[in-house]
Structure 1
Amino acid sequence: MNGLELHKAAANDDVAAIERLLSQGARVDARDANGRTALLVATHDNKVNAARALIEAGADVNAKDDIKDSPYLYAGARGRLEILKMTLDHGADLKSTNRYGGTALIPASERGHVEAVSMLIDAGVDVDHVNNLGWTALLEAVILSDGGPRHVEIVKRLIDAGASLGIADSDGVTALEHAQRRGYTEMVKLLEQTSSAGHNPLPPEL
């Protein structure tokens, strides 16, 4: 059975074809030339019906491709909310990391996916995980954002979830300092209020 037929059916959101191919012996986690499973293909294209059919057939939500993306990690990073929820309900490895050493929460925060951030926080992803760049979700929500409303809301939700304000980047610069340097007034206000209220305190030297 050609596994690539399953990938094509996933890309086309063709549930009938997926079910037929699986019943004929197609391996649900067969890989293409890039190491992607059919579920990861469905996740890339946000094909919710195909993803549901594959997950219900036992597809591995944590199966990584050649660049260390998995259906769970990609759904979180790209804000594919319906698929993300399905992966969380079917054994997503909350500690799994992408090629940058980051959890799903970090790119979700960077890209401004507010609801995905909330889902991942609620699921129990470590809000203070540090990736290979030396950044947490909070740092990325400041450093790689435009300071707009979505990222302000993400900063708020990360703070509410207990994110530490004291974790600095590899140069020793905190989220508050990055926000100040960029003139992100609303973020600065949130971070300063949290610090002055005694929650997630900044290091003494700040």
Structure 2
Amino acid sequence: MDIHTATFFANHEAVKQHIEAGTDLNQKDQFGSTPLHVAVTFGRKDIAMSLIDANADLSVKNPQGSTPLHVASFFCRTEIVKALLAKGADKSIQDNYGSTPYASVAGPFNDVKPVYDKMTKDLGALGLKLDYKHLEETRPVIAELLK
């Protein structure tokens, strides 16, 4: 099982085996995402932490120009945001739209709710679950971490 499949299916043991075997942690899948992007998107916290601890590249961008910190911030993965920042993730990097991780959480929730709706529509069948109440409450917390 390759590292992307292991990450997607939350097979932490397989991911740890890849880390121990020296697998390239920054390789991109057919969608242009690294295992860390996938772990963060789908809330695979333990896998994300293992990849961060194993020195996965924190500045690598997906096709939208988002780093793992952009993704963790947008999806309000508080513990992952803290871990990325503690490991030195650059919070000033801009995505393809000129947004920093802070910009993705700084505005009113209702302004970005359509984006969350689209993400749920596009990735819900793949297992993405978003708790809108959590997102709305946590966005200001994430914004404070990124200031």
TM above 0.5: yes
Measure the CA separation in 2 of the matches of 1:123 and 1:148: 28
Matched with 2:140 is 155
Q: 1:39 to 1:152 in 2, by over 3 A?
A: same
Q: Kindly tell me the number of residue pairs found equivalent between the two proteins.
A: 126
**Residue 91 (structure 1) aligned with residue 55 (structure 2):** yes
**Residue 144 (structure 1) aligned with residue 112 (structure 2):** yes
Measure the CA separation in 2 of the matches of 1:158 and 1:124: 17
Q: 1:150 to 1:77 in 2, by over 3 A?
A: same
Q: 1:90 to 1:112 in 2, by over 3 A?
A: same
Q: Which runs of 5+ in 1 are unaligned?
A: 1-6, 8-37, 164-206
Runs ≥4 in structure 1, deviation > 6 angstroms?
none
After superposition, what is the alpha-carbon deviation per residue over 1:69-114, rounded to whole angstroms, capped at 9, x for unaligned? 1112222233211111111122211111111011111122222222
Cα RMSD after superposing both structures: 2.2
Measure the CA separation in 1 of the matches of 2:145 and 2:33: 28
**Residue 101 (structure 1) aligned with residue 65 (structure 2):** yes
How far residue 154 of structure 1 moved from its aligned partner, in angstroms, is 4.1
Contact 1:112 1:151 in 2 (8 A): no
After superposition, what is the alpha-carbon deviation per residue over 1:34-68, rounded to whole angstroms, capped at 9, x for unaligned? xxxx0111001111111111211111111112321
Greater shift in the superposed pair: 115-124 or 96-105: 115-124
Contact 2:73 2:142 in 1 (8 A): no
TM-score by length of 1: 0.54
Q: Which runs of 5+ in 2 are unaligned?
A: 117-131
**Residue 56 (structure 1) aligned with residue 20 (structure 2):** yes
Going by fraction, where is helix more abundant, 1 or 2?
Answer: 2
Greater shift in the superposed pair: 139-148 or 106-115: 139-148
Quote the sequence identity (%).
27
Residue identity opposite 1:113 in structure 2 = R
**Higher gyration radius (CA):** 1
